[in-house]
Structure 1
Amino acid sequence: MTAVDQITKLFVRFNMQVGDSHTVWDGILRFTFYQNSGAARSSFQGYGRLFGIAAVIFIALVIYYRRQNRGERRLMDIGLAFLVAGAAGNGIERLLFGKVTDFLQFGSGDGILNIADLCINVGLLAVIVQQLFFSRGAKNKQAVS
């Protein structure tokens, strides 16, 4: 997913100017080229490289966690893989350029995302579902044994 993220960002940077917007699917999807030097929803503008360092630390922590916790939690593994892919995709740009390329605008919303952001959202959802619905079952099985 990180490669897909980087390729789509390159495509946007080479074929659009910042601020350009093209409707792809009327009312559903627009490509709007925006560069974000901060965090989600354009908060903390100007701290892009700091968030790049945070992405590297996050990825290292996930690798450490996975080595320490090898279990039967497939959904957690999938969620962490998506989170790492998203962190790597945005982290690369933040470290290289101090900002990320955003271009996906859904519906009439004002938020603009990229593939890495979508990966982060999917990863968070998977981790939350794992924790809410599947961790309790594993704990109950251990208590019975």
Structure 2
Amino acid sequence: MEFVIISLLVLIDQITKYIAKNYLIIRQPINILEGFLNLVYVENRGAAFGIFRDKKIILIGFTSLVIVGLIYYLYKNKGKDKIIDICLILVIAGAIGNLIDRVFLSYVVDFIHFYIRDVFDWPVFNFADIYVSIGAVLLSIKLIFFDK
């Protein structure tokens, strides 16, 4: 069941990136909430916040190792802790979603831009980034506050 959920999350990520690549590249930005949220097409050739820019081989290798390690851990510990399972599913799905882009496009398609007028400007991101962030934050909270 875990791998079905991972596949569905990756599919959602890839469909939204496909739409962004084919629609936003022509018409951008699209304001969703004026002064707070818009959709804009960005080709990210690095990792989070653009680090390791144009280091495709390093990013693909590292991401692949992380994915294999997390899948192995999930498989070996399946069902022992549902919250950890959910966190790992999210991180794995996000990592796979962005890995697909890096392998086939040489960049990651980002399109969600959150900002607060001229006060705050978060880097543009995608659904895979959301999955990884939520999974990592929930896992951190679980391990720090709820595990012995």
What TM-score comes out, normalization by structure 1 length?
A: 0.85
Paired residue for 2:136? 124
1:32 to 26, 33, 40: 40
Distance in 1 between the 2:26 and 2:131 partners? 23
Aligned residues: 136
How far the C-alpha of 1:70 sits from its partner, in A, is 4.1
Greater Rg by CA: 1
Write out per-residue CA displacement over residues 18-64 of structure 1, whole angstroms, 9 at most, x where no aligned residue. 89322111122110111011111112210134312322221110121
Range with greater deviation from structure 2 (81-90 or 15-24): 15-24
Consecutive unaligned residues in structure 2, runs of 5 or more:
1-8
**Following TM superposition, where does structure 1 have runs of at least 4 consecutive aligned residues deviating by more than 4 angstroms?**
none
Tell me if 1:86 matches 2:94: yes
**Identity of matched residues, %:** 28
TM norm structure 2: 0.84
Contact 2:24 2:39 in 1 (8 A): no
2:3 aligns with none
List runs of 5+ in structure 1 lacking aligned partners. 137-145
After TM superposition, list the pairs within 5 Å mapping 1:1-40 onto structure 2.
1-17=9-25, 20-40=28-48
C-alpha distance in structure 2 between counterparts of 1:68 and 1:121, whole Å: 23
Question: In the aligned structure 2, how far is the partner of 1:13 from the partner of 1:101?
Answer: 7
Contact 2:30 2:38 in 1 (8 A): yes
8 Å CA contact retained: 1:18, 1:34: no
